[in-house]
Every structure is written in C-alpha cells, then in structure tokens.
Structure 1
C-alpha cells in the first residue's frame, strides 16, 4: 500500500496504515462528539476534516476507538489536532521538546513546572502515537523522540531543583545563571533511556551522581543528605500523578548497592563499589548508560573512569553464563515457559525484546574490551557492529534487528491502550484485536502470523548463544552417559561410549575424567567450575578422541588442566565455542610452547575467538589500531604494562596457532612476530619515558631511538625469540641535568631510563613478561654504557668496532623513538656500512667467526638447524658478508636473510636464489619447531601433529623423511658457504 497523501484539510502526518475501529458505530459516536467539541472551540480545520470524507478522519476515529489513552488526550486537548493540520507531527514533537529544554522560566514555580511538563508529555504522546499508528514513523524514530523528551524533562526538573537549592543557600552553584554547568551533579540515563530506545509508557531508569570534589555544599558531609532530598524532589516533579497526569515513573534502583546507598551517590563511592563489588548484570546495564542531564562533562568523565569495569581486558565468557542465568531466573520467576500470543510478554517472555538485548549485550561484554566498535548503546547498532566485525553473520543481525523492531512496535501498541507499563498481550480477544490494529495489522490472526514466527526466531537465536538450550536434546546419544563420569569412574555406559569414540584404555580414561570432578586441581576447585566442566565433558571428550592418539591427547589435557590457575572462564569459553576444542586438542598434543602459554595465561586463547582469526594476518597498522584501543582505557602505568603483556602474548599465540592450523605458512610467521614486537615497543618506550619523567623530568632537547638487532632487526622473530636492542640518545649541547624532582646528569639519566625500559619488559607480572631483552650488542657489549649516545657510537664504529659488530649492524632496524632522530641513527648506520672494506680480510673474519661458533657450539642433533654446518648460521653469515662487501644492496639492511640472499651476487661460487629457497625451508622448520618441546633435536622426539606439519611445510609426505632431506640440503648450503668464504680455518 502506498503513502496516503495529505490532501486539503488532512493531517500533516502521512503514513500508509489504515487502522479499523473495534466497533464502527462507537467510532461514529466518537467522531460526532469530537466534531461537536471542535465546533465549540472554534477549531475550524478539525471541524472541516471530521465533517468530510478525508481518510485522515477515518484513521483518527479508528485510533480513538482503539486507544482509550489517546482518546483521553484528544478530548482533553483537541487543539493539538488542529495544530496537526498546519504542522507535521515530527516538527510539532521537536518544537515541544525544544520548549521543555527552555524550562524552567525565571518565575517558574514547582506547580507550574509540573503542569508544563505533563502537558508537554501528553502532546508528545499524541503526536508520536498518531504517527506510529498511521505508519508515518518507524519504531526507531519513535523511541528516539520519546528518549529525547524524557531526557529533556529530567534536565528541566534538575535545573529547577538546583536553582532553588542555590537560591535558598543550601548549595553554591559555580554558574547560577546556568545551573547545570560545572555543578558536578549529573544524571545517567540507563537502559532504554540511555540507549535512545525508550518505549511509549516506560519507566525511566536513572542514576544520580555527584562529584564530591566540586564542593556544592559548604560542609562536604551535608552533600549526601542535601542532594538526596533534591533527587526525591526531582522524582516527585516527574512521577507524581496530578490532574494533568504524570511525566515519567522514575526508577532509581540501578544505582550502586541501592539497599545501602542514598539516592544521590558520590562518584568516589560509585567507583569503589563498581571496582570492588560490581556484578555482571551491572556491567550489562552500564553498556547503555548515558549522561542525560546536569554536568554532562562530569558524567562523561565518570563513564570513562568505569570503562575498565564494563569492558574487560579479556574476552569474558563467564559473562555469557551470568546473563543466561539471569534470563533463566526471569523465566522461572515470571513463568515464561512457552511461546504464544494471548498473555505473552513481548519483553520478558520467550523470544521477546529482552532476549534480543541479551543476545547483543552478552557478546558486547565478551569482546567489547578488545573491540571498541562493539561498545554501542543501541541494540540495533550493536547488532550491526557484531556483524561488521564478524562476531555474528549478517543474516543473523538483519533478522534479529527486524524482529526487534516488530516486537517494539507491538509493545508500543500494548501501551497505547491505557498508558501502562505493560508488555503483555491481552488475554481478552477484543483488547488483543485493538493491539493488533494499533500495531498495523488487520486483527489478532494477522498479528499472530507475524509475531509467532518472530518470537520463535528470537528464541532460537538466543538459545544458540548458550550451551544450555532450554532442554534441547543432546547432539549425541551418549552425552548424558559421558556426563555421568563426573559422578562415577565405573559407569559401564560411559566406558562403552569412550571405547566407541576410539579410546584404547577407556577404564583408565574414565578414572582420569572422574578425577577432574573431585576438585583436586585449582581449575576445578569451585562447584561452579565443576558444573561448567560437567556440561562440556561430552564435547571435550569427543574432541580429544579425534587426535591421532586419543589416550595420550586426553592425558596431555589432564596435565594442562592440572596447571590451569582457574577454570570458570576457560570452561565457559569452551561451552560457548565448542569448535575451538579441536584446535585446543591440536595445541595441547602438538605444541607444548603454546600449551604452556595457555596454562599460564588462559586468556591468550581469546585471540582465537576473534572472527578475524581465520581471515587475516594483521598488518602493523591494524595491530597499532587494536593496541591503541586496548591501551586507551588503561588506568595507570602498571595497567599499561599489563595490557601490553596481554596484547603481545595473545598476538604471538595467535600467530603460532595459525601456523599450527595451516592458516599461516610458517615462512610468514617471522614478519608477523616482528610486527607484534614493533608495535609493542612503539607503545612501551613512550610509556616508560613518560613514567620516568614524573620523577626525573626531561633532559633539554632529549631524543631517543630504539634499534632492533638480530632476529628482530631482520624481521625473523620466532615464537620464543628474545629481542636484541640498543637505545640511542642525544640532547641539547650543554645540557647538564634533567628538570625533574630528582634531576640526573644525561649519561645517568639515559642509563636509568634504559634500566626502566628493561624492567618494563622483563618484570614478571600476573600477565607474565613482555619479552626477554638483550642489550649486549651495544658498543663494548656488557662493558659499555647501557644507553648509547649517537656521537660516541659513531666514534666507536669508526675506530674500534670488530667485523662481527659490523655484521650485526646489517640486521639493524629502527623500531621505536623520535622519527627525526631515528632517521639520523639509520643514516649513521648506513654510512658506517658503506665505508669501503678490504674484501679478503672481511671474508677471513666471517669464516673465522663461523669456525669459532662451530668449535664452541657443535650441533646437538639433526634438527639443530641453527648450528648445523650448512644451517641457519651459514646462510645468515653469507647474507651479512654480501652486505658488508657490497655484493648486495645496502638498502636490504634490516631485511630478512632470505631476501638478502635472493638479491645477492655470489658470482659462480653460489646460487643466491637457491640459498634463499633453503633459507625459506629452514625458516619454516624452525618456526614450527619453536612451538614444540624445548631442545628437541630429532624428528622422532617431535609430537606427531607437529612433525606432520613440519613435513608438509617442506613438501614431504612423511615426517620420517625430514632428517634425510635436511642432511642433503645442509650439505649443499655448506658447499656454497665454502665456495664463497673458503673452508673455516682450523
């Protein structure tokens, strides 16, 4: 049906709906009565409309027959219908809200303010109600306008109360002419009000807070009582029913600890509560919090301060269980067991509005700490961001959004009947028909045809978010039997199921699994953790049954579980993401390095749950963006260091898991690990400098740059690499000391700064260490100053540096610091390396150094690729020799050895491209080996899954062929090394 035109004499509303009255005769009587009233009051346009045959007249009388609430407004103030013949419903609503924003006037009394607000509320209800029923306004637009009016009304009432308290000397406002400005008192709109989603007859949930440092009252001890009295007065102004009606029912119960706190709460008290006692439902509530009145700047500061409470550093899967528990308690308390039409609660019932909200909020709580774009107040916007980020698919977001707005439209229709905060469809057939027609349907049958499938879709989507799918049948017939292992280790049915799954010693496995339920491990110490584990037992056991050796795989998980510090989050994670178990099984059985990382810091597993895991290898720019967002809500320096550790360990773990999964080729891992180190060091250095300056100040003109050396410099880091660094500095000539509370001379300042940087990276914290750090490649090694002044470095390199130190510089790369100074350091290194060198002497030095390493550190097995003759050191030395002798472009300094070898000119002595291919293959093996047990030197000692990955990485079909292939390949590399550099001297 198309849009109904507003012809001469019609309302300026529009919309395509043509509601029918419940009773045609009654509707005509309403029409006659209203026409008579219009004539009596001289409302010519309305009189003319009702006396003619315009469609808007029929639509209007249908609405006043269907809605007793709108009927009462129309007959009390028919003049507003006259206005609708001259101005649009949207414009009249906006003008009404703007009028309220100008209240209170200079001579306003409490009584006149209350009357003005109630009159404005009825106007908005009429204009929005008619637009809604006529189909001219979307539920989205209606909820926004209702929210704007409510927030504006709260602001008017608060301004009146503040102004009055100031006039009576109870408080001192910093700006009496603008009471809200800088007053420190603010109102947080919560729930639907905060999210701009207010319904037609909703209560408004608010929290009133004040910054006690503002000093509104002469005696700070008077503030709680004075401001609480003000809040009670504000509530009365809004909520008390008079002959004019009411503005809004006010609910203050979302404030911190409402049973024990005053109705006006200080920000200090609120922060202490949230940080120490805040619960998951309060975190969910704070997602929608918005300053709506009072000192909005103070409100924004408060919300920023509680950001770490709402948005956790880790993916928070325990929040999912908490939200599910909350919903189940609502269901049990209210008796919502089925989906139906008559008597169904479209907000709290199965498939209702609350389930769409919970669906979005649960996932916002899980991931919002890592993904700031998810921190949306509105439900539809949150769903859109969840889809955009890949957390849910686009079809789910679209379906839930459409269903959400249908439910909101029906909710509005329910509330239009009698202006009550009801969400329940009437049992009475006549009232149900009225709701259907107000919502845009022909009758209850058409309503049911649209609403029942909607409720079922929402119910299904919500249920899938949790493992406890409301009594849904188990995915496998033996699930219940496997769960009984938590109660007994000799359950015959469970043991038989273990055997069918492929376990070779099912009785032994049953005893191990049963042992988890006895609370002997920290991870299963609490009853909640054991309950979560019992729920996921069947999925967990089935996942490990798919391993090459199920028994050993499950025993490896047992060892992992024994070292896990806590279990609730981990088991909740598995419950919400059962597919992750297959990767977990691979990690636990094949990659001890990753397994130990998870055991020490289980939250690194969060990285695998990011939807981007399968689809991207993050670039440095993307990593910077994510780290910046993650550090943006850090509370202090220690929190910054903790967050840096979380980020780095998660991202390193993610690269390793991608390698293990085959998503990332092993030769891509070096740049990926190096990108992580780059962005972390970029953030760490300025954080350390800023913290150091709080005590010691700054050296005039000070500039620093961090030089990455070794594998970091050549972008070849592995999962277990430390980072080789040199800190360069300079400062204004003549600067004698820093300008802080405890000044230091420049040399001491930068040495201490470097010590602080090392401590920031290596100090054990709850989140582990950031990186092991090595500064021994600085001039004179451990004997030299810890920080390196650029001029001194230049002089040392010109007069004292050894060939091996020049070799090290070929792998140098600036990773952090002042951009201009970094450029100077890089240019200094380029000039040093470009100096002409005696090729024969350089060749002898490189060969001699290789001989010393070979004599002092012989290889410890056929997989010791670093030390094997013809292994990584041979290839790295060939690349460094090529750069030093200018047989490779110096622009490749700081590039991976593979790139240098491929571009080098070795003449007839060696094929650079063949050496590059060998470097590529060796790199793949080394990267994968670093995920395995430490010091493994034979393929037989490598876990089966990992050995298979190694074989695949070098295009072999059997791990047993790896060592023979390596022997042949290293022999070829050693031959090339000898051809280029000569045999290492004895």
Structure 2
C-alpha cells in the first residue's frame, strides 16, 4: 500500500458545491453528529469550524437520509472519509475486502464473519465515494470504477471462501488451496455495467457463472454440476442477504443461457454450443461488456476469446441492429417513456437517457467490431472516443455523448444516494426534485430542469439520427400502393413525378417484389423490410438520369438473390449506401453481380472513413492481417484470402466508381492487393510443402510480377502474370521431410500449388487467373525456374520481346534476399549493350504481328487500337532498354531516331528512376521521355496513357466484356464520359481518334 496522499480532502474544501435544503435541516444534522465528536476528532474538527467543510457535510447529510443514517451507524467510516482522500481510502478498503475470506494467519473465516466484513467494506466505500462525489473531489468515472472494483473483490473473496470450503469438505480438490480460484476452471463473468466497470451507486450486479468439468477439481464428475450450482446459491446469499450491516450487492444471474431452464452454473462446452447454435442478438450485445471478474480469470479470458466470433461477426447482420432497436421501442411502449420531461422522467430508460447512449455505442460495435478489433472496448465513454478515432462517428457527436453520458450518470447517482434505492426515476414532487437539484449543485429545480432537458434533447437527436427509420410506406413522397392487380392512379402519378418514364411497368415490378415471387422476398420479414425500404429506394432511383433502366437492373439483381433480409436491412439502416447501390445498378453490372453472389462485400461500405482513406499498401496489409487472424488450416486461409480479396477489390472499385480515387491510384491499389494476396498464398503453400516434404537446404523462393502486375497497372478484372524463381544450397539433393523431393520437383510442385491456391474455384470464388507464359521458354519451360537458370537464359537465349517484358518485372513476394538478387540480375541483363537497329526492328515486327493477329474491334478497344496502350507500352519499354543499356553498339549514321535525341545523358535520367517505380509505364515516360522525346511529346504520351488507362479501369470494373455503347448500361456510358473528361460520348469518340493518331505518329518516329 502506498503512503497516504495529502490532497483531495473534504476537510480542505474552500467552498461547498452543494447547500442544505434549509437551515433547519442543517441544524438537525449538526445535532445528530455532535455526540460523535467526542470519539472522532476528525468529525469534531469539522463541526467546530465555520467554513466550507462544515457547510458541505451538513448539506450532504441533510440531502441524503441514507448517507446520514450510514454516518450515524458507522462514524469511524465518516471520520476516515472526511480526513483521507477517496482513492487511497477506497483502494485500501477494497484490498482488505479481497482478503477477508481468511484471517491474519491465512486460515478461512466463517461465513457470517465474511458476510460482515464484506458489508462493512461496501458501507465504507459507498459513504466515501458519495461524499467525495458530492464534494466534486472525484467524478462519476471514479465512482463507477471503484464500485466495480469493490464488486470484483467481494465476488473473488466469496468464491475463494466457497471453493476452499468445498476443498475442506472433500467435494473439491484445488490445485492451490492457498489461492482457491487459481486454475479452478470456475469462470465468473461480470456483465453489463459491472463488466464495463460502470456500476451505479445502488446497482445490482449481473454475473454469469460457468465451470470447466475438465479442470478436474471435482472429486465426483457426475456431481460437478450440482456442486457448483449449490456454490452459486450460497454466493447469492453471501452477496445480497440483508443483515444488520446491510448487503453487499444484489446479484442477478438471469443473463446465463436460457435462464428459465438451466442451472445457476453452466458447463463451458454446453455454453459454447448454446451460443453457437441458439445465441440471440441481445446476448451478443450483452457480451460486448463481459469481463472475467472472479474465479479462474485466465479461463474466463480464454472463454471470452472463443466467444468473439459469436459476439463480433466477420459478416454484418443488420437484422441484429433492428432487434436492438426493437428492444428500445419495447421499453418505451411498456414503461411509457415517450416524452422528454423532468419530473418522473427515467434517466436510464427514458427518451434521451443513458440507455440510448449505450444502445448507440453497442449497435455500432455489433456493426463494426468484427472487422475492427479496436472497437471492442467495454466502457461506453472509451468506445465513443474509439468510434470517433475510427471515423465511425464525428468527434463533435462523440464529445457531446460522452459529456451527456457522465452528466446523466451524475443525476442517476444522486437519485440513488438519497435512500440507497435502485431507482432511475426523478421524483414527482417539487420538494424531492429540489433535493436532486441541490445535490447536482443547481440553485433550484428550474435551473436543473433546463440543463437536464437540454442534455436529453441532445442525446435524443443523436439517437434519432442513427435509428430514425419508422416512416410509413409512402415515406412522404405521395401515394405508393402496390396491392391488388390493377395500377393505382395516384401511385402512377407519384412514380412519374419521381422521374420514371414507364410508371406502370415500375408498379408491376414492385408488385412482383411484394408478392414474394423471388427467393429474396419469399419470407414475411424480407417483404416487410423491402416494403419499408421502397419509398426511399424509389426516390433515389428516380433521381438518376435513366430511372427505369436502373430499377429494372436492380429487379434483375433481386431476382437472383438467394436471400434478401440481410441486404435489405443493410441498406435500410444506411441510407447513404442506397445511393451507391443505385449507382452500381445503373452503371456497373459486374459489381452488381458480385453483390448478388456475395452480399458481404458490401459490408465494407459501412466504414465512414472509406472514401477518405486511400487504399495504400499499408492500409490493405492491415485489413488482410486482421481478416486472417486465427486462421490456421490451409483451406481456411485460402477461403479467407478469397473473401478479403473480393471485398477489397470491390471497395477499391467503389472508390473509383464514385471518383474518390483516380484510375492511376486504383491500378496501384489493385496491384498492391495482388502483391499481398500472392505473398499470403505463397506463405500458406510453403508451410504446406514444409509439413509434407520438409525444407530444401538453403531453399529460397521469389515471385516475379510481370505485365500489368509488375508495372502497377492491374484493373479489377486483370489476371496476374508471374514467374517463380528459386535457389538452394549447391549440394542440396532433396528436401529433409518424411517424403523428400529433389529441388526441381519440390519447387515445381510448390509453383503448381501456388497457381491452384490463386486460381482454383472454391465456394468463395477464385483469387486471380494466373498466367505463367512469361517464364523462360514459355509454356515449354519448367513452371519453376532456378535463379541460375533464369540468369543464363536471359543472358544467352531470351528474345528481345522477353527483355521488353522484363522491363516491367518486379519481385512481389518471397524471400527478401532472393528478391534483391533477382532485381540485380534483371538490371544486369537489361544493362548490356544492344544493337539499336535490331531492337527497333524487333519492336516493329512484334507490333505488326500483334496488329495482324489481334486487330482492334473499334475505337473503344484502347489496348489494341493504333496508338493505344500497347503502342505506349512499347515506347516506354524501348526507352527503358535504351537507358539501361547506356552506350549503344555502332548504328547507321542515317538512323532516323537520332533526330529524337536531344543530347541529354540518358544514363543519368535512368539512374534517377527508383527501382521500385521503374516498372511503371508512366514513371518511365516521365523520367526518360523528356531527354529522348522532348517535353511536349512526352506529355502527349502521358496524357494518352491516362486517357486509355482511365477508360480501361472503368470498363473492366463495370463489365466482364468490352465497351459497346449500344449495349452498355446508361450509367456506364456516363462514367466513361466522366473518366474521359468529355461533354458527351460523341466528343469522347472524337478525342479517342485524335489521341490514337498522335500516339501512333510518335511510335512511327521512334521506330523509324
């Protein structure tokens, strides 16, 4: 125990924050305290003074009959509370309570003695906290935490007593009788406010008790359940039976599984089975705050860790949020708390009360806690701060709710301090309400009421913004009737006013929904959710340029959904997402198809920081790590990789769709995601290989990304071009596992497994189509290549086109040292002097061959058109090879390309290009182009590259096929026009044609 501090004393008050209801009441308290002064000099000193400490003490005891009675019963506790700081006195009392199950010699005390000690501790702590709270020397945060700590200590001491008693009676065999709870397998969880360390001044405590039969402390395994059930019954008596010393805490066990038909103590396996199979949404909410408070706390932590998937789901279930909200509505309906008021208002359950703040927090935790572990805190105020830091709510709302929460807790405590009643309701009479107002430090009830109502109104406003969904079917937009077979004239008028050109067809479609003709609308609940959603849905669809087309696509999407409740709940609880859904339906059938097959991908849209957060490599890595946490089995890892990859591709695409990120940023993000996914898959495959075949001595693996992966230019629909390189000790003949393989077979099999891991279809889809054709010798070569064979091939056998492809190569995964060696090897190969004439001839031949074998469909085929992406990539690769090679072999004097050289040192330009960026087409043009082609030509190429890439990103995101304006959804045409920064499609087509000609002219100049 630390030395007694000398600050925060009631005896040192310079002014009283409260005043007595009357002089007569203060004099009455003084008369009661006067006989105590003889034996307690601390009390005598304050009574003899004429200052703030005396005024405060008389006021506090005059306002609270309970505190007055407690002071008279236990003057020693009053003396200590007046002369010692609350934190010190409370901590010392709690420590004594924790150990009071045994005497000074370490022997157990009797049950009646234990009960007396715990009650006296509760009385001292309550009196101390109340006086210091009223004196404003501590606040409600300290009060709630200290009361919770006392409850923990009392429970732990009581269970130590009970376990030790069972041990001495021969019913139990404890691992350590001196520390009975340790390794006992007895789990005691504090729930609700107790678990969150937020207990009220007069709270009962909600606990749940489990036991592990496998802990082995019960002598007779068949009787273990009854032994622990009897123990809990005795625990309740120890805690809540009223004696001459009062009670400790009223104890409630009704939060255990199925309390009407289950024992007071529950086996852990049965509990886990219950929650996994029958657990309710309200139980999920309850377990957000659960905390081991007594018993075997290590076992309690392990139990809660296993329960995390039940409480915080990876996938969102917005039906749960509706359940929570319905509980709140039921409370209002049952208790009649429909209006904000002062007299008779319930500060906990009433409008704008504490429960609304708690529901506000808990629902957000149920939404986001499965995906964001930082939002799994227990305390309400800490969670509000965490929600603000995660950008889930704004800081103003968080600050307002935190301040309101603690103000309302102050009011609640003062209600309970008056007579130690478990009440949350303000008095109806003026005189009793004045008592509360004075305890709050207000001058009168009017002043208190004004502040109180203002706080309630602020809370109600925040709560309403979060949950206001209770509008009628029409939602304020006019007639919307979809019953019967005939069209309602008023409904057709409303639909036309909303922006639909064919209102009769739209009405027929919506009747189809409400008749339950789709699987997604067959259940009553699904139809109810969709009915509530329909008015707002029609408003948002109607605001689009082609409302009918957008809604018809949404109807097609609904018709393919296997179920609808989750999706309808999701967009119904988040109106902002509805607009995005409409955008997707109107413009991006590919994304619409993803949502229909995997609705969970939409969950990530709930993150309010989504559009503000750039999907950088670090950002994506953190989410990948979080999602893979706990996955051990190979198949589970691959499934989780597919889930997170699909979701993050979708979210990157949504950012691109809404304009939150540029096409260039999207390409880089798609590429970073692929790097991370390939790396995680490689790690899982390598672990599997080691488990089955051991390790090859000195074995190392690196994966080279080629093509668009290597150049950070992936689109939403890109496959990945990779080459797997390996190395091992020179004398390594085979791996060291029980089923050894020689290195060639070992790494061949590893490559095959990696390809399968990435591209094999499972229930969760595929990760990427994988292309290995850029490896040495193409499809004829081995699927895995040793670093030495790779070096030899590139130096002696590779064709010019292979070296051009190598300019875009970069290591994306694998052993860091081998990645570095591969990078150095590539630089060395590409730096060798070249015959300029041969390079240009090969480049021309390759481009002509592609043009013959894969002619462009039309001007929208931006990859293959003359002057399209391939032309720009060829130019960039030519520049890269030129710069890397440095000096040239002798070339003809009349080389036409000489006219493009402006005399700068190309070697120096290439040296300025970061190797991590040198594979990017744009970076190559930006760094090398000005010195070779000139500033104006370079900017022409970069602008064309941005135009083509932006178009390709949008088209590959929104559709599986090619862009054909006549068949394209209206929304996609709008997006393509926006990406091309054109006023209309005709202007964009003209721009495409002129850009194509300019780029082709540059290529002709380069190739001569």
The TM-score normalised by the length of structure 1 is 0.93
In the alignment, is the contact (CA less than 8 A) between 2:360 and 2:466 conserved in 1? yes
Structure-2 residue corresponding to 1:840: 837
TM superposition shift of 1:835: 2.9
Once the two structures are overlaid, the 10-residue window that deviates more, 615-624 or 792-801, is 792-801
TM superposition shift of 1:636: 5.0
TM superposition shift of 1:737: 4.4
Cα distance change of structure 1 residues 141 and 499 upon mapping to structure 2, 3 Å threshold: same
TM superposition shift of 1:219: 5.0
Residue 980 (structure 2) aligned to one of 951, 954, 969: 954
Name the CA distance, whole Å, in 2 between partners of 1:783 and 1:486. Answer: 66
Secondary structure, aligned partner of 2:575: coil
Name the CA distance, whole Å, in 2 between partners of 1:237 and 1:763. Answer: 62
In the alignment, is the contact (CA less than 8 A) between 2:14 and 2:53 conserved in 1? no
Cα distance change of structure 1 residues 268 and 560 upon mapping to structure 2, 3 Å threshold: same
Secondary structure, aligned partner of 1:186: strand
Residue 752 (structure 1) aligned to one of 728, 749, 754: 749
Cα distance change of structure 1 residues 413 and 908 upon mapping to structure 2, 3 Å threshold: closer
Secondary structure, aligned partner of 1:209: strand
Cα distance change of structure 1 residues 750 and 950 upon mapping to structure 2, 3 Å threshold: same
Structure-2 residue corresponding to 1:37: 36
In the alignment, is the contact (CA less than 8 A) between 1:13 and 1:131 conserved in 2? no
Structure-2 residue corresponding to 1:510: 507
Once the two structures are overlaid, the 10-residue window that deviates more, 88-97 or 893-902, is 893-902
Structure-1 residue corresponding to 2:619: 622
In the alignment, is the contact (CA less than 8 A) between 2:723 and 2:772 conserved in 1? yes
Per-residue Cα deviation, 1:432-474 (whole angstroms, up to 9, x for no partner): 33233233333433332121222222222212212434xx689
Q: Is structure 2 residue 51 aligned with structure 1 residue 50?
A: no
Q: Is structure 2 residue 952 aligned with structure 1 residue 926?
A: yes
Secondary structure, aligned partner of 1:477: coil
Name the CA distance, whole Å, in 2 between partners of 1:48 and 1:762. Answer: 83
Structure-2 residue corresponding to 1:944: 970
Name the CA distance, whole Å, in 2 between partners of 1:111 and 1:487. Answer: 73
Name the CA distance, whole Å, in 2 between partners of 1:491 and 1:265. Answer: 58
Structure-2 residue corresponding to 1:28: 27
- The answer for unaligned runs of 5 or more in structure 2 is 885-905
Q: Is structure 2 residue 307 aligned with structure 1 residue 310?
A: no
Structure-1 residue corresponding to 2:656: 659
TM superposition shift of 1:426: 2.4
Structure-2 residue corresponding to 1:3: none
Residue 904 (structure 1) aligned to one of 900, 925, 928: 928
TM superposition shift of 1:692: 4.6
TM superposition shift of 1:8: 13
Q: Is structure 2 residue 521 aligned with structure 1 residue 495?
A: no
Structure-1 residue corresponding to 2:389: 388
Q: What does 1:474-553 correspond to in 2, within 5 Å? A: 477-479=476-478, 481-482=479-480, 484-485=481-482, 490-553=487-550
Q: What does 1:955-970 correspond to in 2, within 5 Å? A: 955-970=981-996
Q: What does 1:720-731 correspond to in 2, within 5 Å? A: 720-731=717-728
Structure-2 residue corresponding to 1:102: 99
Q: Is structure 2 residue 167 aligned with structure 1 residue 166?
A: yes
Per-residue Cα deviation, 1:736-777 (whole angstroms, up to 9, x for no partner): 544556554433333333333333333434433222222332
Name the CA distance, whole Å, in 2 between partners of 1:519 and 1:580. Answer: 24
In the alignment, is the contact (CA less than 8 A) between 2:324 and 2:359 conserved in 1? yes
In the alignment, is the contact (CA less than 8 A) between 1:863 and 1:939 conserved in 2? no
Q: Is structure 2 residue 556 aligned with structure 1 residue 596?
A: no
Cα distance change of structure 1 residues 865 and 494 upon mapping to structure 2, 3 Å threshold: same
TM superposition shift of 1:412: 0.7
TM superposition shift of 1:351: 1.5
Cα distance change of structure 1 residues 323 and 54 upon mapping to structure 2, 3 Å threshold: same
Cα distance change of structure 1 residues 179 and 13 upon mapping to structure 2, 3 Å threshold: farther
TM superposition shift of 1:633: 5.0
Per-residue Cα deviation, 1:169-222 (whole angstroms, up to 9, x for no partner): 333333333333333323222111111111111111122233444322345444
Structure-1 residue corresponding to 2:114: 113
Structure-2 residue corresponding to 1:368: 369
Name the CA distance, whole Å, in 1 between partners of 2:735 and 2:546. Answer: 63
Structure-2 residue corresponding to 1:414: 415
Once the two structures are overlaid, the 10-residue window that deviates more, 255-264 or 190-199, is 255-264
Cα distance change of structure 1 residues 313 and 811 upon mapping to structure 2, 3 Å threshold: same
Cα distance change of structure 1 residues 978 and 738 upon mapping to structure 2, 3 Å threshold: same
In the alignment, is the contact (CA less than 8 A) between 1:38 and 1:47 conserved in 2? yes
TM superposition shift of 1:68: 2.3
Q: Is structure 2 residue 673 aligned with structure 1 residue 676?
A: yes
Cα distance change of structure 1 residues 637 and 292 upon mapping to structure 2, 3 Å threshold: farther
Structure-2 residue corresponding to 1:353: 354
Once the two structures are overlaid, the 10-residue window that deviates more, 968-977 or 174-183, is 174-183
Once the two structures are overlaid, the 10-residue window that deviates more, 701-710 or 679-688, is 679-688
Name the CA distance, whole Å, in 2 between partners of 1:138 and 1:131. Answer: 8
Structure-1 residue corresponding to 2:266: 265
Structure-2 residue corresponding to 1:239: 240
Secondary structure, aligned partner of 1:705: strand
Q: What does 1:754-773 correspond to in 2, within 5 Å? A: 754-773=751-770
- The answer for unaligned runs of 5 or more in structure 1 is 1-5
Name the CA distance, whole Å, in 1 between partners of 2:486 and 2:192. Answer: 48
Structure-1 residue corresponding to 2:10: 11
Cα distance change of structure 1 residues 261 and 684 upon mapping to structure 2, 3 Å threshold: farther
Secondary structure, aligned partner of 1:611: coil
In the alignment, is the contact (CA less than 8 A) between 2:16 and 2:53 conserved in 1? no
Name the CA distance, whole Å, in 1 between partners of 2:838 and 2:436. Answer: 95
Q: Is structure 2 residue 446 aligned with structure 1 residue 445?
A: yes
Q: Is structure 2 residue 687 aligned with structure 1 residue 690?
A: yes
In the alignment, is the contact (CA less than 8 A) between 2:469 and 2:573 conserved in 1? no
Q: What does 1:395-410 correspond to in 2, within 5 Å? A: 395-410=396-411
In the alignment, is the contact (CA less than 8 A) between 2:473 and 2:534 conserved in 1? no
Secondary structure, aligned partner of 1:390: coil
Secondary structure, aligned partner of 1:243: coil
Structure-1 residue corresponding to 2:850: 853
Secondary structure, aligned partner of 2:78: helix
Secondary structure, aligned partner of 1:48: helix
Cα distance change of structure 1 residues 686 and 424 upon mapping to structure 2, 3 Å threshold: same
Secondary structure, aligned partner of 2:129: helix
Cα distance change of structure 1 residues 811 and 466 upon mapping to structure 2, 3 Å threshold: same
Name the CA distance, whole Å, in 2 between partners of 1:211 and 1:728. Answer: 51
The TM-score normalised by the length of structure 2 is 0.91
